[in-house]
């Protein structure tokens, strides 16, 4: 029974990420072209992750190894890996264990609670291992590269230590998910609490990451003292770093004990409380007083728009994974209002690793381009449409059976996505106009850049969701975070923006390196935002045409 349950759970994770239900009336095998496309996409995602963490570990490795702080290097790498796994699994654990759609079905069968808990935790553990090794593989490569030697024993310690970190992260995530579920089951406004908690946690982690360079400098200067502090604050990470750096078997044994033993105890404890929390009626924490209201009739598109908004704001996972860009833009607007041009300079210093003076232009002289670029990038994390259609789930056949056209169904979802990004973009444009005293034309270009990029992302996300839909999901988190449509929507948008921005930056940098005139570089900088607007307008038009032609045909063939 346990084996069947585990295989079912793993298949659900795999098919949510890579498979789509056949839209044909008869079952057909996937075409070779589609398999190749999925393979290329998977390689692209993995390459992006390795590239990003490769850059981060490269910045950490050389100065720490040269300073003889090998243990501290692996402690920091372990911390990065642990945080990545924890962030990716804490709310997933709470949703998978206690709010999955098949809880009642499984509990009605002769399946022990321990089997349900263990099967779901193993599936989350596998996802944790995938997240963790995205960090650990580049870190190990950089370590062997900088030390100019390869040690099979050190590699063994890295692998075992990485697996144990995944178990430790799962244990703490399970405790957090358990406490979260137990607390929120007695909370009337649990959705508001989830949103505030997740936002606080996210910006705390972001604050730590933004100050990573300062932490690195402090590590080099005060390595021994901080190493002792890390051992007191979070001993498992210290033993993880020490076991790899010194090939210390005793530290590895201690890491095994502090990782595996709590995991076993947690599984036993959660098995005993699973039925009580999982079956507790939602919304039973408070009394609701009925208030008579007058019914009004509205158009179908408006009704679906309101429905989309309610669904979005009722799910913290949906908001955090598909609408985080607007929150980041609002935070950026607040920082812009308080610090003025200083925040832009700080961001430029972070991106260029402190080499702002090497750029062929002054940052403060080209604020509209910098602000417009920040807005364009942030909107790539604002794609609710890549999950909106799949989230209809079992109710999709009902929606499709209504006297609604294809446009009636997809337009409200696209418009909501655009509306969600509209207000923060307007706020940034107004703050830039008033606080930075830029011209009205520049503020208007910033506004248009943000809006057209947001519009492109909304249409692009819907196009991805139509082709990579998934209605037979068990938990909404798998659709929002792990589905092919959501991953392709965000990474595809980021990839297009980075390729376009990288090309423009290469042209400007090349002109500066060849001794281009300041007037020529200034002219290029002045037309950058119009070029961005034109480029993404064309892409939006292309995606719209594809959605209304090929996408519509695909939509009509969907049978949920």
Q: Sorting pLDDT into bands at 50, 70 and 90, what band is 462?
A: very high
Residues 448 and 531 reside in one and the same domain: yes
Residue range 431-459, pLDDT digits in tens: 988 888 888 888 899 999 999 999 999 99
Instruction: Using the predicted structure, report yes or no on whether residue 241 has a pLDDT greater than 70.
Output: yes
Is the residue at 295 inside a domain?
no
Question: pLDDT-derived band of residue 424, with 50, 70 and 90 as boundaries?
Answer: very high
CA distance 417 to 490: 13
**Which of 484, 298, 458 lies closest to 383, judged by CA?**
458
Question: Would the pLDDT of 184 be above 70?
Answer: no
| Residue 21 maps to a domain | no
293-317 residue pLDDT tens = 777 778 888 989 999 998 888 887 7
On the question of pLDDT at 521 being above 70, the answer is no
Do 547 and 403 have their domain in common?
yes
Q: Do 258 and 361 belong to one domain?
A: no
| Other Cβ atoms closer than 10 A to 420 | 22
Task: List pLDDT tens digits, range 470-480.
Answer: 887 877 877 88
Q: Which domain holds residue 481?
A: 300-557
Q: Say if residue 217's pLDDT is above 90.
A: no
Residue 509, judged by CB atoms within 10 A of its CB (0-12, 13-18, 19+), counts as middle
User: What is the per-residue pLDDT for 28?
Assistant: 46
Instruction: Choose among 201, 424, 193, 420: nearest CA to 312.
Output: 420
- Whether residues 162 and 309 share a domain: the answer is no
404/506 same-domain check? yes
Q: Is the pLDDT of residue 515 over 60?
A: no
Same domain, 524 and 384: yes
Domain count, the chain: 2
Between 427 and 559, the higher pLDDT residue: 427
From 130-134, 163-167, 497-501, 525-529, the region with the lowest mean pLDDT: 525-529
Q: Please state, rounded to an integer, the average pLDDT across all residues of the chain.
A: 77
Q: Quick check: is 178 in a domain?
A: yes
The answer to whether residues 206 and 156 belong to one domain is yes
**Does residue 15 lie in a domain region?**
no
The reply to whether 191 and 112 lie within a common domain is yes
Q: Judging by beta carbons within 10 Å of its beta carbon (0-12, 13-18, 19+), is residue 353 exposed, middle or buried?
A: exposed
- Shared domain for 321 and 264, answered yes or no, is no
Mean pLDDT of 230-255: 84
At 284, the pLDDT band (50, 70, 90 cuts) reads very low
Between 183 and 257, residue with greater pLDDT:
257
For residue 167, being part of any structural domain is answered with: yes
User: Do 217 and 345 lie in a common domain?
Assistant: no
- Is 13 part of a structural domain of the chain? no
Residue 23 lies in a domain: no
Same domain, 227 and 322: no
Residue 29 lies in a domain: no
| pLDDT value of residue 459 | 95
Claim to verify: residue 209 and residue 268 sit in the same structural domain: yes
Q: Is the pLDDT of residue 514 over 60?
A: no
Residue whose C-alpha is closest to residue 379's, from 490, 533, 462, 485: 490
Q: Quick one: average pLDDT of 243-264?
A: 88
């Amino acid at each position: 029974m346990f084996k069947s349950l585990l295989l079912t759970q793993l298949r659900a994770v795999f098919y949510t990420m890579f498979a789509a239900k056949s839209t044909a009336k008869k079952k057909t095998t996937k075409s070779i072209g589609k398999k190749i496309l999925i393979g290329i996409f998977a390689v692209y995602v993995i390459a992006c992750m390795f590239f990003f963490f490769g850059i981060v570990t490269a910045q950490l490795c050389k100065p720490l190894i040269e300073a003889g702080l090998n243990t501290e290097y692996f402690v920091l790498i372990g911390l990065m890996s642990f945080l990545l796994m924890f962030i990716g699994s804490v709310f997933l654990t709470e949703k998978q264990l206690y709010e999955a759609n098949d809880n009642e079905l499984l509990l009605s069968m002769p399946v022990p609670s321990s089997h349900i808990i263990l099967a779901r935790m193993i599936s989350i553990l596998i996802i944790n291992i995938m997240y963790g090794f995205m960090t650990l593989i580049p870190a190990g490569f950089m370590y062997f590269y900088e030390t100019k030697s390869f040690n099979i024993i050190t590699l063994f310690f890295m692998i075992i230590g990485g697996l144990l970190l995944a178990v430790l992260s799962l244990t703490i995530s399970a405790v957090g998910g358990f406490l979260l579920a137990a607390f929120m089951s007695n909370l009337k406004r649990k959705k508001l609490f989830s949103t505030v908690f997740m936002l606080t946690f996210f910006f705390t982690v972001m604050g730590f990451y933004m100050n990573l360079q300062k932490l690195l400098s402090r590590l080099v200067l005060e390595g021994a003292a901080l190493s002792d502090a890390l051992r007191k604050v979070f001993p498992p990470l210290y033993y993880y770093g020490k076991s790899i750096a010194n090939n210390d078997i005793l530290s590895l044994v201690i890491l095994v004990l502090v990782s595996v033993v709590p995991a076993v105890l947690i599984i036993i404890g959660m098995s005993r409380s699973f039925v009580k929390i999982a079956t507790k009626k939602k919304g039973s924490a408070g009394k609701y007083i009925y208030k008579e209201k007058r019914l009004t009739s509205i158009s179908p598109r408006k009704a679906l728009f309101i429905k989309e908004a309610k669904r979005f704001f009722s799910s913290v996972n949906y908001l955090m994974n598909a609408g985080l860009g607007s929150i980041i833009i609002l935070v950026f607007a607040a920082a812009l209002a308080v610090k003025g041009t200083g925040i832009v300079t700080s961001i430029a210093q972070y991106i260029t690793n402190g080499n702002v003076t090497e750029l062929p232009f002054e940052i403060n002289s080209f604020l509209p381009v910098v602000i417009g670029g920040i807005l364009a990038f942030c909107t790539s994390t604002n794609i609710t449409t890549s999950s909106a259609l799949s989230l209809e789930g079992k109710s999709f056949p009902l929606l499709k059976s209504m006297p609604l056209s294809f446009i009636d169904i997809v337009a409200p979802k696209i418009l909501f996505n655009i509306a969600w990004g509209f207000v923060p973009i307007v706020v940034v444009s107004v703050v830039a106009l008033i606080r930075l005293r830029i011209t009205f034309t520049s503020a208007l270009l910033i506004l248009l850049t943000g809006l057209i990029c947001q519009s492109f992302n909304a249409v692009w996300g819907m196009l991805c969701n139509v082709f990579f839909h998934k209605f037979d999901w068990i938990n909404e988190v798998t659709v929002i975070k792990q589905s092919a449509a959501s991953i392709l929507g965000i990474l595809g948008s980021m990839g297009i923006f980075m390729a376009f921005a990288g090309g423009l930056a290469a042209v400007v940098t090349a002109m500066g390196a060849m001794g281009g005139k300041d007037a020529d570089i200034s002219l290029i900088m002045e037309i950058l935002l119009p070029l961005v607007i034109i480029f993404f307008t064309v892409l939006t038009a292309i995606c719209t045409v594809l959605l209304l032609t090929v996408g519509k045909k695909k939509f009509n063939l969907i049978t949920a």
